[in-house]
Structure 1
Amino acid sequence: MKAPVAVNGYGTIGKRVAEAIRQMPDLELKGIVKYTPDYSVLVAYRQGIPIYVPKGKEGVFEEVGVKPSGTVDELFGSVSLVVDASPGGKGAQNKRVYVERGLSALFEGGESPDVAEVSFSTLCNYRQALGKKYIRVVSCNTTALLRLICLLDRHIGVRKARAVIVRRASDPKEDKGIVNTVKLDPPSIPSHHAIDVKTVLPDLDIETVALIVPTTLMHVHVVHIQTKRSTSIDEVVETLSSTPRIVVLEGAKIGIDSTSKIVEFARDLGRKRYDIYENVVWRDMIKVNGDELTIVQAVHQEAIVIPENIDAIRAALRLAESAEETMRVTDKVLNVGLQR
C-alpha cells in the first residue's frame, strides 16, 4: 500500500516534488494545495493532479476552468504527511495546522531550522531523521555542500571547509533580481550557508562567502577542503563518483566549461525543464596538494533538493531504514546520474 502524501504549495520546488512523488512506487500524491489560481494550477489540473483549495474559494478556481477535488481540510484528513513547499516563512505558520491534525510534515530550506526536529541531508544524517515528525530539507546550496563534504568525510576525512558561493540572481521564471552588478549576500562572513551546514554537521569547521551575479541558470561553488590525511586526484574522483548524486564531468574533453553548457547537456539528455538533480563537478577544476583539496561544482537550484525531499518522506514514515535503501529507489526512478 502506498503512503498518502500532500504537497502544500506548487511553486518551483512544490511542483517538482509533486511530480517526483507521483513516480515513486511506495508513495501516492493525494493532491496539492493552491490558494490562488494561476497558470501552474491549470497545468497540474490538466495532468490529472487533484487540486484542493481553501473552503469558499472553489468558485474562484472554477472561473479559470479548474474544478477542485475538495477543500484543504479534506485533503489533510486523508494523508500521512504534508510536504510544505510554500514561500519561505509561511511553513512555520502552517505548522500549527499540521500539529493540530497530528500530521507529519516536511519543510524546505527557506524555513528557520527551529521549525523542525532535524535538518536533513540524505548522505549525512538519514538515520537521525528516521521517524521524526517534522523534518527540514536544507536549501539547494546547503544540500550541494553537504553531499560533497559528507561523502569526502566518510572516505577520506574532512578537517575543515571553506567555500565561495556564486549565486544565481533569481529562478528563470521570476521577473526580479539584479541586472548589472555583483552583490554580497550578505556583506558578512560567514554567509548563512555555513550556518545552515552546521545545522546538520554542528562540529564542522566551515566558513562561506556568497556573491549574487546576474544569471538565472545555476549556482557555482569554489570549495576548499582540508582533509584529515593526504589524498590524490584519483581517490577524490573515485570517491565523488561513488554516488550518482555527484557527477564528475571532463569539461575540457567534452566542451562543457560553463553552466549554460551543463544546462544544454541536460536538455539534450531529455531532462524535463533541464532539471539537474546532481552536483556537477568539473574534473578539470579539482586540485589536490597533500591534504588540501579544491573543487569547483555547479548546482541547479530548482532541482537539486528533489531527491532529498523524497528520501526525507521515507525517513519520516520509516519506509526505508537506511540512506542506501531509499537512494536505490529514488535515484533509479528519477534517473539520477547524468552519465548513467
Structure 2
Amino acid sequence: MIGVAINGYGTIGRRVAYGVSIQDDMYVTGIVKNSPDYVTKLASRNFNIYTPDMDKKREFEAHGIRVKGTLEDLLSESDIVVDGTPEGNGEKNLKLYRQYGIKAILEGGEKSTVVESSFNSYSNYPKSLNKNYVRVVSCNTTALARSVSPLKEKFGVQEVNATIMRRATDPNDNKKGPINAIEPSMSYPSHHAEDLKTVMDGINVETSAIKVPTTLMHVHVINLELKSEPGIDEVISELSTKRRLILINDKEGVNSTAQVMDYARELSRNRSDLYEIAIWKGSINIYKNKVHYIQAVHQESDVIPENIDAIRAMFGTDPDLSRDKTDASLGIKGVEY
C-alpha cells in the first residue's frame, strides 16, 4: 500500500484525498492544513490532521482540533506527497521534500521546469514511470490533452487552436472575480499552449483565454487540423473510446454548463464532481481535415483521476491497469449521455 500525504486541502487537495481513500492500493497518511477552519474540523472526521509547524499545531489545538503532528512528521511517515498548496508554494516545498527523500506531485500552477516530467494519463503516462517529482498539468491542459490525444493517435494532429473561456473562480471563493465583466487575456498564445506541449509532443498549439463571470465550469472551443480526413462518425467513434470523455446531447436539454453540472449532481457522486470532459456531440463538425467541437470542463475535479494515476505511475504501475482501477473506483464509465 502506498502511503499518500496531502499537503494543502483546498479545491484539489480535498478531492485527491477522497480519491486516494477509495483505492485498494494506496491510503491517506494525513493532510496538512494551515487554518483551523470549518473545513479542517470536517476533515478531521476522516483524516489525520497535520500542521505546517508547531506554532500552528498549538493554534489548532486551542480551537479543539486534534493534531497528530507537523508537515515534517507526515513526510517521514509517507511514501509520496501530493502538494495542493497555493500556486508557487509547491516549488518552494520541493526543497523540503527532497530533504526527506519523498516522492512528490505538484499541481498545474507550478512551473514544468522544476519537476522531472509533466503528466497526463492519456497522452504521456509512460514518461512519469518511476519518477520522483512530477507535475499534473492544470485543469484546462488536462481537458485539452484528454480530447486531443485520441484524435492525435488515430488521425494525426498538425495543429490545435483553442479558445478557452475560463470560469472566474471556484464556487467557494468570495474574493475573486470578475463578477460583471469579461476579461480577455492579452497574451497570445495563452500559457495553455506551452503547457499542452509539455504532455503532447509534435504538435503546433495556439490558444486564447477569456475569463468569464461564472464559477461552474470552463468551456473550450476547439479547432484541430488533422493529418487525414476522417468522417464525422469516425471522429465520434474515436472520442467514444475514452472513458474520461463523455458525449452529451443538447437535444435532450443539456445545452449549457448549468445542465451539465445538474447532470453531474444526478450521478450522486462525491461533491457532485464531473471527472469526465463533456463534449457536446452536436458541436462536432468536420470540413476536410479540420475538426471543430466544444467541451465543458469541471475545473474542480477533472485532474483528480490524473493525480491518482500519477501516483501509480511514479511507483511503476502499468498505464492501462492504473486507469482501469481509477475509473472503476470513481464511477467513470465513459458512456454517451
TM-score by length of 2: 0.97
Match of 1:226 in 2: 225
Quote the residue 1:192 is aligned against.
191
Aligned residue pair count: 334
The amino acid that maps onto 1:35 is: N
Residue 105 of structure 2 corresponds to: 106
Q: What's the counterpart of residue 78 of structure 1?
A: 77
Is the 1:222–1:296 Cα contact (8 Å) retained in structure 2?
A: yes
Deviation at 1:202, TM superposition (A): 4.1
Once the two structures are overlaid, the 10-residue window that deviates more, 305-314 or 73-82, is 73-82
Structure 1 portions without partners, runs of 5+: none
DSSP-derived class of the 1:18 partner: helix
What does the per-residue CA deviation read over 1:267-296, in whole Å, with 9 as the maximum and x for residues that have no partner?
112122221101100000000112110010
Q: Which amino acid aligns with 2:273?
A: D
Distance 2:201 2:324 in 1: 28
Moved more, 139-148 or 58-67: 58-67
Give the whole-Å Cα distance in 2 for the aligned partners of 1:23 and 1:271.
13
Match of 1:97 in 2: 96
Q: 1:244 offset after TM fit, Å?
A: 0.9
Q: Note the C-alpha offset of 1:226.
A: 0.8
Partner of 2:326: 330
Match of 2:281 in 1: 283
- Output the CA distance in 2 between the equivalents of 1:60 and 1:337: 44
Amino acid at match of 2:178: I
Deviations 1:107-139 (A, max 9, x none): 000101112110110101111110110000000
Identity value in percent: 43
Cross-structure match for 2:178:
178
Residues 279 and 299 in structure 1, CA contact (< 8 A), matched pair in contact too: yes
Q: Does 1:45 align with 2:14?
A: no
Between 28-37 and 136-145, the greater mean CA deviation after superposition: 28-37
| Match in the other structure for 2:308 | 310
CA contact (8 A) 1:55 1:72 kept: no
Distance 1:337 1:86 in 2: 30
1:246–1:337 contact (8 Å) kept in structure 2: no
| Structure 2: runs of 5+ lacking an equivalent | none
1:262 aligned counterpart, secondary structure: helix
- Report SS of the residue matched to 1:110: coil
Q: Structure 2 CA distance, aligned partners of 1:311 and 1:334?
A: 12
Q: In the TM superposition, what whole-angstrom CA distance separates every residue of 1:215-237 from its partner, at most 9, and x where no partner exists?
A: 00000000000111111111111
Distance in 2 between the 1:336 and 1:139 partners? 20
CA distance in 1, matches of 2:170, 2:306: 20
Tell me which residue corresponds to 2:249. Answer: 250
Q: Within 1, Cα distance between the matches of 2:64 and 2:333?
A: 38
Question: Contact between 1:5 and 1:79, CA under 8 Å: does it hold in 2?
Answer: yes
Q: Does the Cα contact within 8 Å between 2:242 and 2:334 map onto a contact in 1?
A: no
| Superposition map of 1:146-165 within 5 A | 146-165=145-164
In structure 2, how many angstroms separate the alpha carbons of the residues matched to 1:125 and 1:325?
15
Query: Which secondary structure state, in structure 2, belongs to the residue aligned with residue 247 of structure 1?
Result: strand
Task: Classify the secondary structure of the residue corresponding to 2:180.
Answer: coil
- Aligned-CA RMSD value: 1.1
Match of 1:296?
294
